Amino acid sequence: MAVLLQLHLPFRFRNTSKNFTHVITARASSSSVSSNQSLSTPKSSDFGRLVSKLKSNSLNFALSGTLALAVALSGVAFAEAKVGVNKPELLPKEFTTVIDVAGFLSDGQENRLAKEIDSIEKDTGFKLRVLAQNYPDTPGLAIKDFWQVDDRTIVFVADPTFGNILNFNVGESVDLDIPRSFWSRLAGKYGNMFYWKEKGEDASVEAAVMAISSCLREPVGANNCAEVK
């Protein structure tokens, strides 16, 4: 099984309310490594401690350079952090759950997504936040305070810079209810380059938001979010 490597992370934060240092954007310096390629393996004791630490954190994916690591059956991907981007001047003057600095969405699309996000929060208690960008044109770390990101927040970054346009940072409470495989399947279905180049970045964003909405509304159980709708 592949170990994903998406390195050089210029914007990093952890999505807990106390210490926010996970990754939202990244500059990829290496491509994904397939399972038939050789990789250096950490010492077993170090690897065990690392995996244990990673499991205690909220979900991380290296789908298109957005998140710092991906836990796969065969191992763990590693990433090199860089200084984070912080451009509060790119934030809107008034609060909104959808920030489109890339211009992917029309006003009507932004309004529809904002209404759906409000409905999700009222019905489930989870907070979905959408940022559309083209790195390095991003508000970066400034979104943490703007959105008051906590362990019930899903930060969805739409950025086509690294191939797959769908990138997610998931709070710990969300991670308890939503299978980790859901996010990778969602990115694989609606975030791949063939999809968004054919249908448009806006179509990928809208499809992903509706799939997340459907997933969050399913009863928690062994088979919840088994399908990306």
Is the dihedral angle over the CA atoms 174, 102, 137, 181 positive or is it negative? positive
DSSP sequence for 77-90: ----B-PPPB-GGG
pLDDT for res 45: 52
C-alpha 224/C-alpha 2 separation (Å) is 25
C-alpha 201/C-alpha 165 separation (Å) is 8
β pairing state of 98-100 and 127-132? parallel
For 159-218, the pLDDT digits (tens) are: 999 899 999 999 999 999 999 999 999 999 999 999 999 999 999 999 999 999 999 999
**Which architecture, in CATH terms, is 11-216?**
Roll (3.10)
Bigger pLDDT: 124 vs 82: 124
pLDDT for res 46: 55
Mean pLDDT of the residues in the chain: 74
C-alpha 57/C-alpha 155 separation (Å) is 15
pLDDT for res 85: 86
Q: Side chain identity at 88, as an amino acid letter? A: P
* Among the listed residues 32, 42, 22, 46, the one whose alpha carbon sits nearest the alpha carbon of residue 155: 22
Bigger pLDDT: 19 vs 117: 117
Contact between 178 and 215 under an 8 Å Cβ cutoff? The reply is yes
